[in-house]
Every structure is written in C-alpha cells, then in structure tokens.
Amino acid sequence: MIQLPTTFFTATNLTSKTVNKIQRTIKDLTGIYKDEAAFSAEDTNKKMYEVATYLPVAEGTEGGLFFGITYLQPGLIGNEYYMTKGHFHTIENRAEYYWCIEGKGMLILMDKDRNTWGEAMQPGSLHYIKGFTAHRVANTENDVLIFGACWPSDAGHDYEAIAKNGFSKRLFNINGIPALQ
Ligand code: S6P
Ligand code: ZN
C-alpha cells in the first residue's frame, strides 16, 4: 500500500451512458457471515453496496482495462462489518488496483495458500492487489465507504471459491476496534 495525497482522487460519481450499475443486497451475502442468527434477523432486501462500472471493451477482452467505484454501506451483522462478497479473478494471475476515495475500511486479502491479511483503507490509500489473491472490502466506520478499482478486462470473477470456503480470517468489530482473526 502507498499513500497518495487525498486530493488525488476526488471523484465519487461516475456519470456516463456507458456506466453500468450493480446493486448487492444483504441476500447476496447469504452464507458469508458467521452469525447466522443475526443474518436471518436482517431485512435481506436492504442494500449492502453498489458498484458503478465503466466497461469500455467487452468482458473477456485481452489487454483492456475496466474501472469501477464501489459504494459500501456501513453496518454490522453480528460482530462482522458490512463487506463485499470477495473474489479471486477467473484468470488467477490478473492483478488489480483499489484506492480509497471516502470513508474508512479494511481491504482483506488472501493468497492461494489461504494466508489472510488486511490493509487499512483511508482516503488516498492505494492498494495493489497482486494476482492469485482474493480480495474483499469491509466498511469499518459509520459512513459510506467509497473506493475505486481498476482491473484487466479479461480477469473475470470467481466468487465460488470464496462462497464455499470463505477467507481464512474474519474481520470482527471487537469493542469498536476491527480485529482480523
Ligand atoms: C472488480 C473489483 C470491484 C468489485 C466490487 C464488488 O474486479 O474487484 O469492482 O467487483 O468492489 O466486490 P465483489 O467482490 O462483490 O465483486
Ligand atoms: Zn477483483
């Protein structure tokens, strides 16, 4: 991770007719949270996050780049923060950049040997996610967390491995402090 000046990326909106928007609700995170009782007490139609993407070439095109901004709501399910589903790339060696625009959170990373670690996200933090590394973001504060992403257009998303086996560590809110354990 390197720290950029916070004025480096200030855009929080992508407006163009070529921008797609994906919305994920709590239901889309089924099976991911540890506290199943807390999960089933939630309104599963509530919005968890939105992703605005600019896809200038067809998905799967070799050599192109995609760009996206994720808007992740604040909240807890049990003691676990609202977070993205997380994925490896289908072409596993494909890398990606994330950078934090607004809010605070934790980028949770896991390699193929299931070693898991976190990088704190705050405005201006730039994160290089190397290939073969699963990535997920948790919102650790009370405001919306907004972060940008840029990834190869042929990377693809493999959600299955994470949906099945999860990350080897979870990020819990322990007395108000994020703890990866
Ligand atoms: C795409 C990039 C992001 C995520 C987004 C939502 O490679 O990593 O745009 O798609 O942050 O996360 P997820 O895990 O639901 O795709
Ligand atoms: Zn990715």
Residue with tokens 């480096």: 8
Q: Is residue 176 part of a domain?
A: yes
- For a mutational test of ligand 1's pocket, the pick from 136, 157, 158, 160, i.e. the residue with the most ligand atoms closer than 8 A to its C-beta, is 157
Q: For residues 179 and 170, give the distance between their C-alpha atoms in angstroms, rounded to a whole number.
A: 8
Q: Is residue 102 part of a domain?
A: yes
Question: Can you tell me which atom of ligand 1 is nearest the CA of 69?
Answer: 9
Q: Is residue 122 part of a domain?
A: yes
| pLDDT averaged per 10 residues in sequence order, the chain, 181 residues | 59 61 95 96 96 91 95 98 98 98 97 98 97 98 97 98 96 97 97
Of 75, 70, 179, which Cα lies nearest the Cα of 135? Answer: 70
pLDDT score of 148: 95
Q: For residues 26 and 29, give the distance between their C-alpha atoms in angstroms, rounded to a whole number.
A: 5
66 in Cβ contact with 148 (< 8 Å): no
Q: Is residue 4 part of a domain?
A: no
CATH number, position 79:
2.60.120.10
pLDDT score of 152: 98
pLDDT score of 18: 61
pLDDT score of 54: 86
Domain total in the chain: 1
Q: Is residue 73 part of a domain?
A: yes
88 in Cβ contact with 150 (< 8 Å): no
Structural domain of 120:
21-180
Which residues lie across from 104 on neighbouring strands?
none
pLDDT score of 21: 87
The ligand whose atoms approach the alpha carbon of 70 most closely is 1
Q: Is residue 8 part of a domain?
A: no
Please give the structure tokens belonging to residue 131.
């290939």
Q: Is residue 68 part of a domain?
A: yes
- For a mutational test of ligand 1's pocket, the pick from 87, 128, 135, 159, i.e. the residue with the most ligand atoms closer than 8 A to its C-beta, is 87
How many angstroms does the Cα of residue 132 sit away from the middle of ligand 2? 10
With a Cβ cut-off of 6 Å, ligand 1 is lined by: 51, 68, 70, 84-87, 96, 149, 151, 157
Q: Is residue 136 part of a domain?
A: yes
In sign, the C-alpha dihedral spanning 24, 180, 10, 94 is negative
